[in-house]
Amino acid sequence: MELLHQLVMLYTSGAAAIAAAWPWFWPLVGGMFGAVLGSFLNCARYRVPRGLSLRHPPSHCPSCQTVLGVPDLVPILSFLALRGRCRHCGVTIGTASLWLEVACAMLGAALVAVAQAGLR
Ligand SMILES: [Zn+2]
């Protein structure tokens, strides 16, 4: 139990040291988690109403059915890099996906920033 306590104290003091040195670091991490959550919500809002599984098939273009590779799955950045189009068939991807990811990223960053400010 004492070892666990020491590990928790080491972790929290390390996290606090990072926050002191780079105040933007943890909000950035929160924003990245938020963007990933937004990406999952995009998947869910497409698949659930259609009765499709959330796990299978893996993420794919609904137009050409090509399974997306890792570079195509980075939230927000993939959309911007591909200018909102499928890399394979060029079909336009709706901007609602982008805005949901951006909103979730901003919410994640804001929540972490508020929590971080409350801990000081
Ligand atoms: Zn496609």
Average pLDDT of every residue of the chain: 91
Partners of 92 in beta bridges: 85
- pLDDT average, residue stretch 44-60: 93
Residue with tokens 């609602």: 96
| Dihedral of the alpha carbons of 65, 79, 35, 113, in degrees to the nearest 10 | 180
In the reported structure, the alpha carbon of residue 37 is separated from the centroid of ligand 1 by a whole-number distance in angstroms of 23
| CA within 13 Å, CB half, 111 | 12
Question: Looking at residue 18, what is its pLDDT?
Answer: 85
Cβ contacts of 81 within 8 Å, gap of 6 or more: 71
In the reported structure, the alpha carbon of residue 13 is separated from the centroid of ligand 1 by a whole-number distance in angstroms of 47
Question: Looking at residue 13, what is its pLDDT?
Answer: 80
pLDDT tens for each residue of 87-109: 999 999 989 999 999 999 999 99
In the reported structure, the alpha carbon of residue 92 is separated from the centroid of ligand 1 by a whole-number distance in angstroms of 9
In the reported structure, the alpha carbon of residue 38 is separated from the centroid of ligand 1 by a whole-number distance in angstroms of 21
In the reported structure, the alpha carbon of residue 66 is separated from the centroid of ligand 1 by a whole-number distance in angstroms of 6
In the reported structure, the alpha carbon of residue 119 is separated from the centroid of ligand 1 by a whole-number distance in angstroms of 46
